[in-house]
Amino acid sequence: MPRYLSIIHIDESSAPAGGPSEELMRRMGELIEEVTKAGVMLDTAGLTPSAQGTTMHWKDGKISVTDGPFTEAKEVIGGYALMQCKDKAEALEWTKRFLQVHEPFWTVSCEVREVAEG
């Protein structure tokens, strides 16, 4: 079965300063348990804020390094989910359910891509 990576993009300006609420974490935990029991979830995790990140860029044979925060970024990668699904429609359905556990004030999007098998 194909694997799909759901790359979670968040607008850090709409996220609460204290992080996700206990209620959101409870709902997310329930969904992750359901996806795992269904045999779909291979791995998932959230990421620390972009202020704690570093970007390395390769151009013209040289590496440049920039430490966060990255003020020019409107959205940042907030996490990921690696799922094994029968098809893209199933991956999109699980991703839709993930988005729906968030409170309305969050701005979250997910880019779902099939993993290219070598």
Number of helices (H) and strands (E), helices first, in the chain? 2, 6
Instruction: Name residues whose C-beta falls within 8 Å of residue 44's C-beta, 6 or more positions apart in sequence.
Output: 32, 79, 80, 81, 82
pTM: predicted TM-score of the whole model, two decimal places = 0.86
Q: Could you report the per-residue pLDDT of 21-65, keeping only the tens digit for each?
A: 999 999 999 999 999 999 999 999 999 888 899 989 999 999 999
- Residue 77: pLDDT above 70? yes
Contact 3, 118 (CB under 8 A): no
- Residue 73: pLDDT above 80? no
Q: Distance (Å, rounded) from C-alpha 39 to C-alpha 107? A: 28
> Helix, strand, coil: what percent of the chain each, to 5?
30, 35, 35
